[in-house]
Structure 1
């Protein structure tokens, strides 16, 4: 299961296992043409649940690999494990700050903050102006916030790490292992955002002749214009392959997606789906992103214009990933959620650890933190409906932790399906906005929505 351990503080999550539980099986149509649509061809996955699968994916059944006599044959794929091979911290913490030692008495505003300030100035290279010792306003606000949540994060993560070490999910010996080399072809992940940008110059599609949803076949090479103008859905119980600009992407069972940018959201609205859960990871503005030009960011006023109220069902639960910049956190709580008629409910933290059970970055580092914030809010619907919702599921708790080994691929957030399952009703409609991957039972939207579904991120099960 994706949730390895659950304690009062939160959850220890296995991101890699979740991906491999999504059912990336492709039935060989030459061996059994009807296999793709036959009942039970693949374990069905609900939006907020996971099947009982192994860490490497589906357990092999008696029909696996058979290609003769008209019996089913299937190819199974798993996500490449080396992208979760985080064996050592990116920056080593001081001896007293290591989780496996069990405690840390360092003051969050004391000596460690001073050493972190020194760390920032020491990072300047020759020929560059050294950073001044004084903290700017943003850093002071971040330090103040950190002082409030530090004990919660330390103690909660410590408890979950200890459970992971006891069960064998985390391995202390992993700290001495080197990283496996991650090699990817240069083309991977390229072209999706550019394709969405080019779509603005394509001739307009006649909506009267364009279906709101197009269903994938066993291997679909759809015209780029069609992919950008309506929702694409895999309604089968097995995975599908879709070809975009000559590149192959794996689409998990019972999932749908829209490949577009913020200027082309109408196809998502046209499908007339209202969602009970909406998760979003907006491309927040920041200086390093502006310098690197890795992807386009959105200003707060642009994020406000997203049609979340039109997509949200009554009492919809909305979750927004926020960087550690306090101005972004304040914007979500004080401006964005009220603008969308959402009631802020809670703040959770995603804590990133190594396979050995250490923070990936020193907890008290001023430059970067080993955690990110998730702000939860709920749509203000009809009071009677809200009362029924409250009776059906537990209330959303505040200050929970989601602890996991992060993916080394940039901005590949951990799955939330497992941790949300106890707080929503079964069979809810779920939407991820600004997505870079797909999930069974979910609708996903973004201008790089297929990025981490590229075939080169996966390997056939059993291959070396």
Structure 2
């Protein structure tokens, strides 16, 4: 691959494959998913600067598998923010989520670093954020705002598996851009 754009900030919400196609909430019923190996093999190492931040969404099912993604992409775990899902109308706790042992009403945003990136000048980012649910798998805008506020001056930013464009971001996702190679300027050869 020829090198194209390189990003100091990556925000990713991989389409994890759960293997529960028979259930009503199955991800495969909503969008195309990827195996863990396919996610790990993505050329993210080639897309980031030597010093970079990664913000990676993961559910409890893939908490331990996310370490393989971090290693494959060249990052080390630093911290996490919990999205405490709330009802969009009342901001009360959301409806009961999926789960075999505990019913999940949250998702995890892992914060990871490659090298020694700048940023995180804010010291008031809480580890739990209450935010409303919306469409299936869509993440609240508050998380993008948090990322922008702790990575001021670190641009360009790349969102992997995004659902819509956003100012100041290059967004790749099957609902926005279909070919990551076209989006970031990489080409075969």
Query: 1: CA distance between counterparts of 2:84 and 2:13?
Result: 16
Q: What is aligned with 1:203?
A: none
Structure with the larger strand share: 2
Q: Contact 2:8/2:154 (CA < 8 Å) preserved in 1?
A: no
CA 399–285 in structure 1, closer or farther in 2 if over 3 Å, else same = farther
Query: 2: CA distance between counterparts of 1:448 and 1:420?
Result: 22
Match of 1:304 among 13, 27, 40: 40
What is the aligned-residue RMSD (CA, Å)? 3.0
Q: What is aligned with 2:168?
A: 441
Q: Deviations over 1:228-281 (max 9, x none)?
A: xxxxxxxxxxxxxxxxxxxxxxxxxxxxxxxxxxxxxx7xx76x2111111111
* Runs of 5+ unmatched residues, structure 2: 178-189
Structure with the larger helix share: 1
Aligned: 1:372 with 2:100: no
Query: 2: CA distance between counterparts of 1:427 and 1:277?
Result: 7
Q: Contact 2:91/2:131 (CA < 8 Å) preserved in 1?
A: no
The structure whose Rg is larger is 1
Aligned length: 171
CA 376–323 in structure 1, closer or farther in 2 if over 3 Å, else same = same
Q: What is aligned with 1:163?
A: none
Aligned: 1:356 with 2:95: no
Query: 2: CA distance between counterparts of 1:357 and 1:304?
Result: 35
Q: What is aligned with 1:111?
A: none
TM-score in terms of structure 2 length: 0.76
Q: Contact 1:430/1:443 (CA < 8 Å) preserved in 2?
A: yes
Q: What is aligned with 2:184?
A: none
Q: Contact 1:361/1:368 (CA < 8 Å) preserved in 2?
A: no
Q: What is aligned with 2:65?
A: 331
- 3-state DSSP of counterpart to 1:350: strand
Q: Contact 1:348/1:375 (CA < 8 Å) preserved in 2?
A: yes
Aligned: 1:285 with 2:21: no
CA 275–397 in structure 1, closer or farther in 2 if over 3 Å, else same = farther
State the 4+ residue runs in structure 1 displaced beyond 6 angstroms: 395-399
Q: What is aligned with 1:321?
A: 57
Q: Deviations over 1:31-58 (max 9, x none)?
A: xxxxxxxxxxxxxxxxxxxxxxxxxxxx
